Structure 1
Amino acid sequence: MSTYLKKFISQYVNLTDDEFEHISNKFRNKTIGKNSYLFRHGDICKDLVLVQKGCLRLYYLKNGVEISVWFAFEQSSAIEIYSFINESPSEYSLQAIEDSEVLYLSKQELNQLYQKQPKMQEMMRNFWEDVILNLISRFTALQKDSAEKRYLDLLDKPEYLKKIPQKYLASFIGITPTSLSRIRKRIARNH
């Protein structure tokens, strides 16, 4: 746990060994089986989740269809920001799409760390900035890029193509699985 957690935290802040030890002791481990949920629509997202192994997806339902909006791979975070910050029921569900191992820190523990470890505030500010920039980038791509361009961008992210079923990839780029099949065939013919 400590090597992975140290790598994640060091992206956002430099800690002494003592500071890191105090913070890392607040995180807990959890194993989640394939297709199991960390939370479902209507639940409150109470934890900051870091994926050690596996893959999670954040999705919502629209007219009975699952729309995937985010994937969290190894060494990345998974959180539903609105629910976490406002402590309100989520419009989303967070599900493991393969057997996964995660570290998690409750919002209550996070707030206590803010008081006891001031660098935790700096770390989370930098973390939130990173999350917001990624969300803006994703939103912009959905608004301005074609579905084919969004798929081509995924080709630069092999973990998406290896781990994520086509139906989830299609909803992630904003199209149907049939449209994704057509795009993949067209790209294959042109290369």
Structure 2
Amino acid sequence: MTDQLYHHIQKLVPGFTTEQEKIAPFFQTKTVKKEELLLTEREICDTIYFVNKGCLYLFYEDNEDKQVIHFALENWWITDYKTFPDGNPAVYSIAAMEDSEITCMSRENYETLLLQFPLLALYFNKIHERAYGAALYKQKTFATVSKNDFYRYFRSTYPELIQRIPAPIFASYMGVSLRTLRGFQHAYIS
């Protein structure tokens, strides 16, 4: 467990005062290389990931094309939330978008941690509420604005992130061709 994760927990749940050493055994920190797969579709999903440094992305394969649906940057958690709760085969894959340092926790450790330290259930509830709210907002935005306007919104809201995401991955996330994305980029610069 990293100090970064421990401080993130304390930031969201200020009343959490358990010593870091008591919860550290539930976590494992490691580095992953760009494009390294952490989870593949149909593999049992039994791990949740916290990004200390770098970026991960969630996607599924459709006719051999990656359909990107979510990113996780520093201080974000990611897993296949469809299958992590019940241990079914994953419907999504997770890969590193860039060289990253992540902290992982198995489903078994997650459940044990929440039973032993109930305030961490509040922490994860806050994490999941934020993630669900962001997913709903993306869905609304996709339904109510043009792809060009979504690109402008994303670029102005997340200027550092847009520079980190490779164009093919961002085009997939937006649901447009690489050519269309390049047109948005050119129009934005002009």
TM-score of the two chains, using structure 1 as the length reference? 0.91
Distance in 1, matches of 2:39 and 2:111, equals: 21
Give the CA deviation at 1:11. 4.0
Q: Are the counterparts in 1 of residues 154 and 162 from structure 2 also a CA contact under 8 Å?
A: yes
Aligned residue for 1:69, secondary structure, equals strand
Distance in 1, matches of 2:127 and 2:146, equals: 29
Partner of 2:170: 169
Distance in 2, matches of 1:134 and 1:74, equals: 16
Give the CA deviation at 1:133. 0.8
What is the letter of the counterpart of residue 179 of structure 1? T
In the superposition, relative to structure 1, how do residues 11 and 145 fare at CA in structure 2: closer, same or farther (>3 Å)? farther
Aligned residue for 1:67, secondary structure, equals strand
TM-score of the two chains, using structure 2 as the length reference? 0.91
In the superposition, relative to structure 1, how do residues 35 and 2 fare at CA in structure 2: closer, same or farther (>3 Å)? closer
- Measured against aligned partners, the alpha-carbon deviations of 1:60-108 in whole angstroms (never above 9, x if no partner) come to 1122211111111122111110111121111211011211110011110
Identity of aligned residues (%): 26
Aligned residue for 1:52, secondary structure, equals strand
Q: How many residues align?
A: 188
Distance in 2, matches of 1:31 and 1:97, equals: 13
Alignment of 1:9-158 (within 5 A): 9-14=9-14, 15-18=16-19, 20-155=20-155, 156-158=157-159
Distance in 1, matches of 2:50 and 2:163, equals: 20
Give the CA deviation at 1:29. 0.8
- Measured against aligned partners, the alpha-carbon deviations of 1:25-58 in whole angstroms (never above 9, x if no partner) come to 3111111111111111111221120011111111
Q: Are the counterparts in 1 of residues 49 and 105 from structure 2 also a CA contact under 8 Å?
A: yes
What is the letter of the counterpart of residue 178 of structure 1? R
Q: Are the counterparts in 1 of residues 34 and 96 from structure 2 also a CA contact under 8 Å?
A: yes
Give the CA deviation at 1:152. 0.9
What is the letter of the counterpart of residue 177 of structure 1? L
| Alignment pair present for 1:188 and 2:189 | yes
What is the root-mean-square deviation in Å for CA atoms of aligned residues? 1.6
Distance in 1, matches of 2:18 and 2:119, equals: 13
Partner of 2:6: 6
What is the letter of the counterpart of residue 170 of structure 1? A
Distance in 2, matches of 1:152 and 1:23, equals: 42
Moved over 4 A (4+): none
Distance in 1, matches of 2:54 and 2:125, equals: 26
Aligned residue for 2:26, secondary structure, equals coil
